Amino acid sequence: MQTVPSNPDYHFLVFAPGLESWPFRAAERYWDTFRPIMYSMAAPDDFTLVTAATGARRSVALTLAMRRDTAAAVRGALGNLAERLYFDPLVYDSPTDLYLTLEARVTRGQRFGVPPAPEATRTPGPVVGG
């Protein structure tokens, strides 16, 4: 897994199987703010769209909402794909808990569970000579 990109080429918000009714109850403001590509998985290994985006020189972030009872199967299905993207797991058993987390992220302006690494900046050195 990569470190969190400040502005990834692709950002997916994916809902694991069993959460089909959660996106509109839990993620409306998050989607309005950050505009991730959003979909519900048909099966625990339904990463076709994410896999297509993980080509060369593309930064991909996957925010994946799962319940505790399906998290192991879904994470296992990620396999080697996890090495090519930034993985932002959200494991909750109720849409209300997921909603509270996503709302807090919107309030803080924090797209992912950890703040992005600061952009590299050049610090000017001392002025030499006169």
How far is 104 from 111, CA to CA, in rounded Å? 10
56 backbone dihedrals φ, ψ, rounded to 5°: -60, 140
pLDDT value, residue 22: 79
Sheet harboring 60-66: ordered strands across? 37-40, 10-15, 60-66, 86-91
Residue 3 tokens, joined: 């470190």
Superfamily of domain 10-108: Glucose-6-phosphate isomerase like protein; domain 1 (3.40.50.10490)
Q: Residue 26 — pLDDT band, cuts 50, 70, 90?
A: confident
> What's the whole-model pTM score?
0.81
Do 19 and 27 form a contact (C-beta atoms < 8 A)? Answer: no
pLDDT in tens, 75-117: 899 888 878 889 999 999 999 999 999 999 999 999 998 765 5
